[in-house]
Chains A and B, each alone.
Chain A
Amino acid sequence: MAGNEIIKVDRLTARIDNQLILSDVSFHASAGDVTVILGSSGSGKTTLLKHLLGLYPSDKNAISVLGKNPWHLPQNEEKAFYSRLGVLYQNGALLNSLTVGENLALPLQQHTDIKGGLIEKAVRLKLQMVNMQEAYNKYPSQLSGGMLKRAALARAIIMDPQVLFCDEPGAGLDPVSLSALDELILHLQKLLGMTVVMVTHEVPSIMRTADKIVFLRNGKLTFEGTVREGIESGNTYVREFFDRAKGN
């Protein structure tokens, strides 16, 4: 449904250092869905995500996130736009010089008029939602991998974003922690009514979370649909991807 498309990518082609990374990629993500961008290493998943976030340049009509291309945003609209997005980075990307509490408070201090006491309450609430209350005064370097991801997730949802982007959330996590993180993301998605766009190649994670998959291979979109459609489709790459992960 066209009105439901919260993210739209239209014939996106990207080069980095004259190397073609993405070629003619088109897909859309619907509001309220978990859309997983998958593919093997080097297929262009993270590059695509960085384009969606406006970190890499793109043609004005090639990308639309919440109706705008973030690369072409006027400076005075940046704060308002990015306050509607949350991003969970692969390694957390919490600012190491700040405590977890200060990391979470940062977007609130920069984008709102909320004062100190209320900011602390909002931060503690979000930490509670990811079961990390004890991390408020800790520095990122004092957290384990799983805790770091949860703290980063808390920062990503601090502004109650409309869209949550996750870049390889499972990287470096054991299967149990990964499963717990997936459940947490799904729980928060329902709680906050977010649209989730996740980049991953963790098949168990995809099976648990994806409403829709966007499969990239060598920078080209090879499949777009549900996981079941992918597995049952005649697309050998998609089938092989899931089969190999299952050990078939």
Chain B
Amino acid sequence: MRQLCTFYVDDLYLGVGVDKVQEVIRYQRMTGIPLTSNKIEGLINLRGQIVTAIDMRTMLQLPQRPEGKLPMNVILHADDGGALSLLVDEIGDVLELEDARFERPPETLQGVARELIRGAYKLENKLLLIVNSDKIRTESVAA
């Protein structure tokens, strides 16, 4: 059994392990960082902690978020490289799913998704894609 924090990015239903998530907060004002990849959206002030926000839409090569729609922050626990925030469209439920429903991604999955998606949980009417949170930092600086 695994507990997963789920969220939506464009039409994708994604999830990360609950143990990886520090908290989920609504949109925060951000400070842009010039000269960095466009996947890095900016810096937010999380009660004195400075967190780098990464746009999941850009990461996954999805179309831009519609104007006026503000993203939510899924803050991942700080490892030795500092905390990260994933900018997502909407937050879903926390799900508890048995391991049997998990399957590795198909070989035909290519590109950036191959690195970022660890696999999928087969739900009744859709698939929940599991994001490899360890890869986000490295992928965010990749060209």
On whether the two chains bind one another, the answer is: no
| Chain B interfacial positions (CB closer than 8 Å to A) | none
